[in-house]
Homo-oligomer: A and B are copies of this chain.
Amino acid sequence: MPEKVIPDIVVGRLPIYLRSLQRMLAENRHVTSSQEMGERLGISAAQIRKDLSQFGEFGKQGTGYSIDYLADQIRKILNVDRVWEMAVVGAGDIGSAVARYQGFANRGMQVAMIFDNDPQKIGTRVGDFTVQDTAQIEDAIREAEIRVAMIATPSRGAQEVADQLTKAGVRAILNYAPIHLTVPENVRVQYIDPVIHLQRMTYYL
């Protein structure tokens, strides 16, 4: 039987559900419902039930979801029941903030190395890391078998960095440079550009 293809928009909501469940666990909660999750997230309970049902049966009608169990299952689905090492390219304000960010722990991610092409930055410390020369990207990433990377360079250099990363085996790129990247078909890119989000809101003001 061919594997069912889940719409990417549904996949995109799972991390939001997981974050909410992890927050409930931190509040010492053990059972929740699609209603409660929906109220917390501003998503309808029906949508949440429908999304989750694409992946299996996670709760019984009337008794709700075990938070621990559902969180575990979503972690497995998203492949974050392990820790992904990540490379950060660009040791400017954003790259440094990301490299020092404490919020990756327990969410399946961990920064493993950071690169820059500025001789003044190469060799300096950012959080727990020594900034490496971007000339080393391919060798370092290939050796560490890294599959996930973040680009936090200026727009100008971002495409070249993406080319190096994908050549070295990276398959998922989070791009902070405000430019669209062209990558091979087997590589995923997600974009973070605050202005894009802001302009989407000023439309309504």
What is the interface of chain A, defined by CB distance below 8 A to chain B? 8, 11-12, 14-16, 18-20, 23, 40-42, 77-80, 84, 86, 93-94, 96-98, 100-101, 103-104, 107-109, 147-148, 150, 155, 171-172, 174, 178-180, 182, 188, 190, 192-205
Q: Are B100 and A202 touching (Cβ within 8 A)? A: no
Bound state CA distance, A172 and B205, in angstroms?
8
Q: Are B194 and A192 touching (Cβ within 8 A)? A: yes
Bound state CA distance, A187 and B8, in angstroms?
27
Which residues of chain B are within 8 angstroms of A199 by Cβ–Cβ distance?
14-15, 18, 78, 80, 107-108
Which residues of chain B are within 8 angstroms of A193 by Cβ–Cβ distance?
19
Q: Are A100 and B93 touching (Cβ within 8 A)? A: yes
Q: Are B203 and A108 touching (Cβ within 8 A)? A: no
Residue ID in chain B nearest A42 by CB atoms:
B180
Which residues of chain B are within 8 angstroms of A8 by Cβ–Cβ distance?
200
Residue ID in chain B nearest A86 by CB atoms:
B198
Bound state CA distance, A196 and B13, in angstroms?
9
Min CB–CB distance A29 → chain B (angstroms): 15
Q: Are A202 and B80 touching (Cβ within 8 A)? A: yes
Min CB–CB distance A198 → chain B (angstroms): 6
Bound state CA distance, A77 and B199, in angstroms?
10
Say which residue of B97, B104, B180, B195 sits within 8 Å of A41 (CB atoms): B180
Say which residue of B98, B171, B194 sits within 8 Å of A174 (CB atoms): B194
Say which residue of B12, B84, B188, B202 sits within 8 Å of A172 (CB atoms): B202
Residue ID in chain B nearest A82 by CB atoms:
B202
Q: Are B203 and A14 touching (Cβ within 8 A)? A: yes
**Additional A-B contact list (11), CB under 8 Å, known A11-B203, A93-B100, A172-B198:** A15-B200, A19-B195, A40-B180, A42-B182, A77-B203, A84-B205, A94-B97, A98-B194, A103-B178, A107-B195, A192-B194
